[in-house]
Amino acid sequence: MKINTDLLHAYQLHARLSGSYEPQAMAHISPIYQTTTYVLEDFDTAVYLNQHVDEGFVYTRFGSPNCDELEKKIAHLEHAEAALAVASGLGAISTAVMSVVKAGDHVVFGDVIYGCSYALFAKVLTQLGVTYTRVDTTNVQEVADAIKPNTSLVYVETPANPTLKISDIAAISEVVNQHEGITMIVDSTFASPYLQNPLDLGADLVVHSATKYLCGHGTVTAGVIAGSKARIDRCRMPYLQCFGAVLDPFAAWLLMQGMKTLGVRMERHCSNAMKVAQYLEKHPKVDKVYYPGLESHPTHEIAKKQMHGGYGGMMSVDIKGGMDAVRTVMNNMKVFSLATSLGNVDSLIQHSPSMSHFDMTPEERHAASIFDGQVRLSIGIEDVDDLIADLEQALALI
């Protein structure tokens, strides 16, 4: 071959011209398949695999070895038949939701959920002819009463962002199962598979923003969906295939590294958060602490029954003095970073009304106990005394 052909084909793995060869190295960590397309053995294989994209690799938007590895791991951790990797938590939620709702349907979801998930229902799906009812999903009767003949989805976020309300997945699933054709999706991001397995409690699909605890280091934006093979196949084809929110192989690879330490991280997140919550609960400048591990939390008993191994690393705090007090605290934190997101190894502080929940109206926020004087803390794995000292010095400045 001449130089320009050689530049492309010589010693290229799988290239026919140079004769394909198998890699000899047994990599300890999986390689990153940074490729958009896959060489198919012959015409018949190409025809077959395009009809059966979960049985091989054709094109990275349909699946990749790095995503496949991640999906198998997530399915295992969530006790599911199958899982799907998506490019963000919202990508996972919108893909899962769109795979079950159609024009004319009605959806029931919680009065406290992540702001952009709320926007998906309230601002996007309404334009496609889908109606909704928001209820307090910690009250199972409210869920039951909201179900209509055209309800196709009950969507539950637990623990809920940002007030950490815990909904009883098993009890809601019992209500849902009394009706034909209703799917129950649970956003279990705040718990991670380490603390909660919604499918075991009767949910049909579980979604996570893998950007948070699953990754753990704030380096990847990703989402996952887990459930039965039939449901996941439908999410993949045609929904993910058409929406195109696929996870990049490098991001899937990074997530695989992050997940190795999920257990040790969650244990430290939980024990640190419990200590911080107990400290803040007694603080004279604090009105209220929302942490499901505290006995004072209204849904502590459900959390105790439903979550295993701890109550997570997230909490919200009403600071006396409203927005001005919040500004003082947030501008003076030294160990906590003023940043949205959560579940990172390092601690973060945000103002939920103006950051994660800006999509809701002030009236909707107040009705959901998301007050202007409220901050949300994502407790990291630092030495807890340093976190408490940081809060102490900032609160003292009010």
Q: Contact with ligand PLP (CB under 6 A): which of 64, 88, 167, 197?
A: 88
Q: Contact with ligand PLP (CB under 6 A): which of 63, 65, 198, 223?
A: 223
Site track for ligand PLP across 347-386, x = CB under 6 A: ---------x------------------------------
Segment interacting with ligand PLP, rule: CB under 6 A, options 25-33, 134-142, 173-181, 186-194:
186-194
Return d(Cα 112, Cα 193) in angstroms, integer: 21
Interaction between residue 89 and ligand PLP (CB under 6 A)? yes
Interaction between residue 248 and ligand PLP (CB under 6 A)? no
If residue 389 lies in a helix (H) or strand (E), which one and from where to where?
helix 384-396
Which single residue brings its beta carbon nearest to ligand PLP?
89
Integer angstrom CA distances of residue 313 from 159, 181, 212, 216, 276? 11, 35, 11, 12, 10
The number of residues that bind ligand PLP (CB under 6 A) is: 15
In DSSP terms, which residues pair with 83 in a beta bridge? 226
> At a CB cut-off of 8 Å and minimum separation 6, what does 383 contact?
none
Token pair 């334009």 is at which residue?
Answer: 127
Q: Where are the beta strands (DSSP E) in the chain?
A: 82-86, 106-110, 131-135, 151-157, 183-187, 205-209, 223-227, 286-290, 314-319, 337-338, 348-350, 374-378
Segment interacting with ligand PLP, rule: CB under 6 A, options 17-25, 183-191, 271-279, 345-353:
183-191
Segment interacting with ligand PLP, rule: CB under 6 A, options 26-34, 187-195, 257-265, 269-277:
187-195
CA 226 to chain centre: 11
Interaction between residue 158 and ligand PLP (CB under 6 A)? no
List residues with catalytic annotation. 61, 114, 187, 212
Site track for ligand PLP across 275-304, x = CB under 6 A: ------------------------------
Q: 187 vs 390, which CB is nearer to ligand PLP? A: 187
CA angle 253, 254, 260 (to 5 degrees): 95
Site track for ligand PLP across 314-353, x = CB under 6 A: ----------------------------------------
Interaction between residue 211 and ligand PLP (CB under 6 A)? yes
CA-nearest of 141, 199, 148 to 172 is 141
Return d(Cα 148, Cα 160) in angstroms, integer: 24
CA angle 226, 231, 232 (to 5 degrees): 50
Q: Contact with ligand PLP (CB under 6 A): which of 90, 252, 273, 325?
A: 90
**Encoded tokens for 53:** 């994209």
Q: Contact with ligand PLP (CB under 6 A): which of 38, 57, 114, 213?
A: 114
Return d(Cα 392, Cα 222) in angstroms, integer: 34
The residue ranges that bind ligand PLP (CB under 6 A) are: 88-90, 114, 117, 157, 161, 187, 189-190, 209, 211, 221, 223, 356
